[in-house]
Amino acid sequence: MTATQSMTRQGLLDAVAQIPREQVAILPTALEEAPRLRAALGPNAPRIFIKRDDLTGLAFGGNKVRHLEFRLADMKAKGCDALVVTNVAQSNHARLHTALAAKHGLTPYIIKIPSDKDDPINGNLLLDHIMGAQIIEAPDAEPDTISGMLEDLIKRLESEGRTVYNVPNDSFSKIAGSCGYLVGTVELLDQLDAVGATADHIYLASGTSSAGLALGGKALDAGYRVHPVSVGQARPQIEEYVCTVANGAAELIGLDTRLQPSDISVHDEYIGERYGVPTAAGLEALKLAGRTEGLILDPVYTAKAMSALIDHVRAGRIDREETVVFVHTGGLPITYAYASEIVASLQGSDGEGA
Ligand SMILES: Cc1ncc(COP(=O)(O)O)c(C=O)c1O
């Protein structure tokens, strides 16, 4: 699609409006400038805005609350009275699906994949317990084990007369996040207009949200580049995933635009050892955001994403005349489950203790 053919924001919203949606999130979320973070990054740092999608409202918020607006409507259309997710203890996804289920009278089931954050019960897992999740412990993290357990659980529940929403495998569920962030694209562009700014770059932890922002930006010819920062998988896998979910959403709502890997800049250099293990750069980003902006990042997603932005600014890969939006995708409860790693990093870095 060329610039002259790009669709209008209202056209994009109308296209998304074909898909049933229920209000769940408190929108719009704030767009805040981060001048002290910018100053801390040196004289050549760009203008930085934070899109506060950690403040979407449901059970400690996060980007996924936008996704849930579409998933809830789909669950209702399918007459579901239970939902199932398969996640680790510190999953934001599991916590927010549990919250949604609690609020709308469905029974939430979590097939819990073992991880080194199972014990003590803390962070997201604590919230899952508070909100009444039915937690089924998987014996190991093998994909075949988990998919077998998911299949068995759904069969059992269906035999008991339940109608179950299979969150990981439902075909609409897989692209609901991108639909949420097509709406989020328009919200962000309107807010940037209101402060007379134009985004050149958008940074966030990679996933369906980054897919929606990239597809929305391309369809609207918004002129920004999305930087999905991987927190676990290698770049080719992320590129394929982001384009697949974006294009699934485009097809569903009848957009002509399609996303290809060259449209996005996926970064996989900030993962560190593996998913769920904090990095020194991420912990430094967490501390810097906290101490310059009173902004809390989590060590698994948003701190690693911020460490990519910080590294790119310091390396001069972003011009000081440019404008960056960092989408804070939430994950705040995770912070508590990583208290020991965070405290050790604070003590090591400034010697003043936590
Ligand atoms: C805090 C946070 N940010 C980003 C993501 C990325 O995935 P998505 O955009 O599909 O939600 C996740 C997924 O678990 C997440 O929990």
Cite the beta strand spans of the chain per DSSP E. 31-33, 47-51, 82-88, 107-113, 134-137, 164-166, 201-205, 225-229, 323-327
* pTM for the structure as a whole: 0.97
Q: How many CB atoms lie within 10 A of CB 269?
A: 12
Q: Whose CA is nearest to atom 6 of ligand 1?
A: 207
Residue 72, token pair as written in the block: 């809830």
> Is the predicted pLDDT of residue 352 greater than 90, yes or no?
no
Local structure of residue 244 (DSSP, 8 states): H
Q: Whose CA is nearest to atom 16 of ligand 1?
A: 92
| Angle at 143 (CA atoms; ends 228, 94), nearest 5 degrees | 60
**Active-site residue numbers?**
91
In this chain, the answer to whether the domains covering 3-62+172-350 and 81-162 adopt an identical fold is yes
Closest approach atom of ligand 1 to CA 334: 1
Q: What is the pLDDT of residue 351?
A: 53
Q: What is the pLDDT of residue 349?
A: 76
Q: Which CATH number fits domain 3-62+172-350: 3.30.70.2190, 3.40.50.1100, 3.10.20.30, 3.50.50.60?
A: 3.40.50.1100
First to last CA, the chain: 52
Closest approach atom of ligand 1 to CA 181: 9
Q: How many CB atoms lie within 10 A of CB 206?
A: 28
Pocket test for ligand 1, best of 301, 306, 326, 332 (most atoms within 8 A of CB): 301
| Centre of ligand 1 from the C-alpha of residue 160, in Å | 33
Overall average pLDDT of the 58-66 stretch: 98
Mean pLDDT value across the chain: 96
Cite the beta strand spans of 71-209 per DSSP E. 82-88, 107-113, 134-137, 164-166, 201-205
| Centre of ligand 1 from the C-alpha of residue 88, in Å | 13
- The domain defined by 81-162 carries CATH number 3.40.50.150: no
Boundaries of every domain in the chain: 3-62+172-350, 81-162
Q: What is the pLDDT of residue 1?
A: 45
For the stretch 305-332, pLDDT in tens is 999 999 999 999 999 999 999 999 999 9
Residue 115, token pair as written in the block: 């991880």
% the chain with pLDDT above 90 = 96
Pocket of ligand 1 (CB under 6 A): 62-64, 92-93, 177, 205, 207-210, 301-302, 329-331
For the stretch 274-307, pLDDT in tens is 999 999 999 999 999 999 999 999 999 999 999 9
Number of residues written out for the chain: 354
> Is the predicted pLDDT of residue 6 greater than 90, yes or no?
no
For the stretch 95-119, pLDDT in tens is 999 999 999 999 999 999 999 999 9
